[in-house]
Structure 1
Amino acid sequence: MTKKTLTPQRKRATASDVARVAGVSKWTVSRAFTAGASISNTARVQVLAAAESLGYRPNLLARSLSQKRTHIVGVAIDQLKNPHAMLLLDEVTKQLQLRGYMALLLNITEGKHYQSVMMMADQLQVDGILFLGTILTDELITIAHDTHHIPLVQVGRNTDGQPLDMVNIDGYQAGWEIGKLLLAQGCQRFGYMKGPDTPSSHLLRMDGYRAALTAAGKDLNVELVVGQYDRQLGYQTMENYLRSVSTQDRVDALFCENDILALGAMAALRATAENGAIAIVGFDDIDEASAPEWQLTSYSQRTDRLINEALNRLIDGEATEQGEWRQGELRIRRSHLLPSPASVRGG
């Protein structure tokens, strides 16, 4: 049997090693790697050359702790299966890195491990926590506040009566625009499909939608509650609705609280040979919305603007109360269109 020889690991170079080779003090080494620190150009060149020869890299975490800031931001998120959550996560990690920060992902799947996850964030001394589109319970907010006195910012959802910053688009205006869009198609009966059965004030989309209908003398006839942002459950909810309601009594327009629900509803319409019979609009403008097989009309929250505003508040303590981040963008495709009378007659 051949004995395997282990290669000894190379000892990691320290600031003291760099100081010895460069012929300077350990504190000069520290200043050479600190932006804006007072140090002569000659000394900086000597330190950097020594560090290069030794393969030295400064311990940023240790330095950050000494400065009372770790440059780590906790990013709390549930609904990880939701593609919009991935859009938010992609945007926040990119923007954090551009600012010299790192993200610590905190998976707070509803009802599980709040205490242990927040304790981890506390032990790593994160500079703040972003909650991305998360439904915040009183318990979770209490734990977040009690474990560490740091800034808390919620993105993409409102939470009533809680002491934290909230960055969300004008959901009322978004719902109003979607209502006007469907009214312009000549729709007469209107429905709304929601995920979790939370108060409408969390998003305000349904409120704006209903207001646009009321202003036109129409009612919100049906509210379908799915319970989760889940495509299969959206499919089943729509399928049950189509089976239980006669054709003449069904809605001919449906605003879905997000694109995942909208895609589930559209799939149910196709499976029951009702494709195109109901105008559908989603929300979030996930990548799949623009796919040729769906052409889902949706509403983009402009996550780049939302995240920028959230980080301005979390990191810099600066807020722009009524900036362009409050406005999303309607993305017009084809799912909101009803068949023309001529095509229904076969003309």
Structure 2
Amino acid sequence: MSRDPSSTRKITASDVAERVGVSKWTVSRAFTDGASIAPDVRERVLQAAAEMGYSPNLLARSLTTRSSRLVALVVDELGNPNQLFLINEATRQLQARGFSSLLLNLSPEYGPAAALRLADQFQVDGIMFMGTSLNQELIELAQKIRRVPLVVVSRNSSLSNIPFVTTDGYAAGAEIADLFLSQGLRRIGHMTGPASERTELRRLDGFRDRLEACGVPLACVLHADHYRRDQAMQALLKYLGATPREQRIEALFCESDILAIGALDALHSTGNLHRLAVVGFDDIEMASAPPYQLTTFRQPVDHLVAEAIRRILDPDALDAGSLLAPGTLVLRGSHRRLG
């Protein structure tokens, strides 16, 4: 039986089974990883399915397997390019394992309750939290959803019962402090992104502690309300406008690359480029662009995502706990202060 191109009827497993001469349950096993089926039978079924335009109904299958093969990705700072990089890597790795992703974008208008309710309705197999604020409401809602595994990605979690996988931000902060100190810089500041609740980066802690251990107090902390270039630019412009030149910091460590790029734009617009050493974090694509040549700290994103997915999907990794992974300091030109 060949499929009529003009027909609108969807080809079913029974149609494929009839063509191959097997049961529809054999067709189902042919599309199930690890199912017991002879290799030659599987090949015949898959070939017939391809010729007929058949694909299994994953939603229907989830009713019998009790697995939707969906993993929810919870985010709340899509303006941050590194967030998009994380999402891209997560969806790529999930698809390679035969899973799909459900993107839940938290906002003032669409809060944790609505997002987690949607995740519950889709019966997700796990939740990867990539946001800045893991608040108590979201935690309690997540724990009510059939005890679905929840893993925090690219941030630390202050909750002992929720594992995280992230770069060792404390060690990274200390390494960046050493970079500034090795150049003889002593008036040193930091720029943070939005405040977090129950998640943290530890980058500032490591940075401040190393400076203080070397007798150099942190001179100032600038704040950006969101991980956006314009927010960082305005924060540094405000500081430059309010601080006499002789009292300004000599170096600035920014919590993320997009904040560092905004800071460099502020320096360029005021004629202060290279008068302030700048280092970012993440190594996004723009960091290596000629106008910026941003020195930054690269996270092992592929490894972090793989470990997060493993903690969600692999039964033997459910009790693996949290992971702090090493990153890499990438030297370009922005960490050098001239004059």
TM-score (norm 1): 0.89
- Kept in 2: contact 1:189–1:253 (CA 8 A): yes
Query: Does residue 1:180 correspond to 2:178, yes or no?
Result: yes
CA shift for structure 1 position 281: 0.6
1:100 offset after TM fit, Å?
A: 1.4
**Structure 2: gaps of 5 or more residues:** none
> What corresponds to 1:256 in structure 2?
254
Query: Are 2:272 and 1:240 aligned?
Result: no
Q: Say yes or no: does 1:299 pair with 2:297.
A: yes
**Amino acid paired to 1:255:** F
Residue 153 (structure 2) pairs with residue 155 (structure 1): yes
1:315 to 309, 313, 316: 313
The answer to whether the 8 Å contact 2:164/2:322 transfers is no
* 1:148 CA drift (Å): 3.5
1:41-65 per-residue CA deviation (whole Å, 9 max, x = no partner) reads 5654554454345332222332233
Q: Secondary structure at the match of 1:239?
A: helix
- 1:274 aligned residue: 272
AA at the equivalent of 2:334: S
> CA separation of 1:191/1:44 partners in 2, compared to 1, >3 Å: closer, same or farther?
closer
Distance in 2, Cα, partners of 1:53 & 1:254: 60
Structure 2 counterparts to residues 18-29 of structure 1, below 5 A: 18-29=16-27
300-309 or 176-185: bigger deviation: 300-309
- Structure with the bigger RCO (C-alpha within 8 Å, sep 6+) is 2
8 Å Cα contact 1:266/1:275 also seen in 2: yes
Range moving further from structure 2, 329-338 or 223-232: 223-232
Equivalent-residue separation in structure 2 for 1:67 and 1:250 (angstroms): 62
- Residues 56-96 of structure 1 show CA distances to partners (whole Å, capped at 9, x for unaligned) of 22223322331121211111111111100011011111111
Which moves more between the two structures, 140-149 or 258-267? 140-149
Post-superposition Cα deviations, 1:296-316, rounded to whole Å, max 9, x if no partner, equal: 111111111111111111111
Q: Distance in 2 between matches of 1:200 and 1:245?
A: 33
Give the Cα separation in 2 of the matches to 1:201 and 1:28: 47
Alignment root-mean-square deviation, CA: 2.3
Other structure's SS at 1:220 match: coil
Question: Does the C-alpha gap of structure 1 residues 121 and 197 become closer, same or farther in structure 2, counting only changes over 3 Å?
Answer: closer
Code of the residue aligned with 1:301 in structure 2: it is Q
CA–CA distance in structure 2, aligned partners of residues 46 and 222 of structure 1: 68
Over 3 Å counting, the alpha-carbon distance change for 1:17 and 1:172 in structure 2 is same
Kept in 2, the 8 Å contact 1:200–1:206? The answer is no
Secondary structure in structure 2 of the residue aligned to 1:305: helix
CA distance in 1 between partners of 2:218 and 2:304 (Å): 29
Deviation (angstroms), 1:110: 5.0
In the alignment, structure 1 segments of 5+ residues that lack a partner are 1-6
Please tell me whether Structure 1 or Structure 2 has the larger radius of gyration of its CA atoms: 1
- 1:112 counterpart SS class: coil
Aligned residues: 333
Alignment check: 8 A CA contact 1:309 1:320 kept: no
User: Is it true that 1:134 corresponds to 2:132 in the alignment?
Assistant: yes
Residues 1:327 and 2:319 aligned together? no
CA distance change for structure 1 residues 283 and 10 in 2, over 3 Å: closer, same or farther?
Answer: same
Offset of 1:200 from its aligned partner? 10
Following superposition, the deviation at residue 35 of structure 1 comes to 3.4
**Whole-angstrom distance in 2 between the partners of 1:158 and 1:12:** 47
How many Å separate the matches in 2 of 1:122 and 1:75?
A: 13
Task: Give 1:4's aligned residue.
Answer: none
1:213 matched residue in structure 2:
211
User: Equivalent of 1:56, from 40, 54, 57?
Assistant: 54
Write the distance in 2 (CA, Å) between the matches of 1:37 and 1:28: 9
Is the 8 Å Cα contact of residues 171 and 204 (structure 1) preserved in structure 2?
yes
Identify the residue that residue 195 of structure 2 maps to in structure 1.
197
For 2:29, the equivalent position in structure 1 comes to 31
Offset at 1:269?
Answer: 1.2
Equivalent residue letter for 1:335: S
Counterpart AA for 1:218: V
Distance 2:168 2:275 in 1: 30
Deviation of 1:201 after TM superposition, in Å, equals 7.2
The offset of 1:22, in angstroms, is 3.1
One-letter amino acid matched to 1:216: C
List aligned pairs for 1:25-174, cutoff 5 A: 25-40=23-38, 43-44=41-42, 47-48=45-46, 50-109=48-107, 112-161=110-159, 163-174=161-172
Q: Secondary structure of the residue that 1:117 maps to in structure 2? A: helix
Tell me which moved more, 309-318 or 7-16. Answer: 7-16
- Cα 1:31–1:196 shift into 2, 3 Å: closer
